[in-house]
Amino acid sequence: MKLYVTDQEGAEHALEGLEGWRLMEVIRDHQLPIKAECGGACICATCHVYVDDQWADKLCPATPDETDQLDNAFEVQDNSRLSCQIILNENMDGLRVTLAPGIEP
């Protein structure tokens, strides 16, 4: 599956995603600038991304834990999500996100 990630400089990257992986893992493994300090445990908010508007309603809603962690993120918007909480599936081919500011490693 193809995922499209725009970095903080505005460059778009086409990444290969794997079903069952966390979006954060794919971003990190393609060496894009993301901290992901907690490794996917939903306790740090350093994998904050903005989900493209056309995809926002297609993803599972944020859990209360994710929403709580987003309170600690920089420049939160209505389309903010933690990429560690987005588990990829076959319906996410073409997903577009933008890395939020303040998460460079």
What domains are defined for the chain? 2-99 (3.10.20.30)
What pLDDT score does 55 carry? 97
- Could you tell me the strand order of the sheet in which 48-51 lies? 12-16, 2-6, 96-99, 48-51, 80-82
Rounded-to-integer distance, Cα 27 and Cα 21, Å: 11
- The whole-model pTM stands at 0.92
What pLDDT score does 38 carry? 87
pLDDT tens digits for range 26-80: 999 999 988 888 888 898 899 999 999 999 999 999 999 999 999 989 899 999 9
Rounded-to-integer distance, Cα 76 and Cα 100, Å: 8
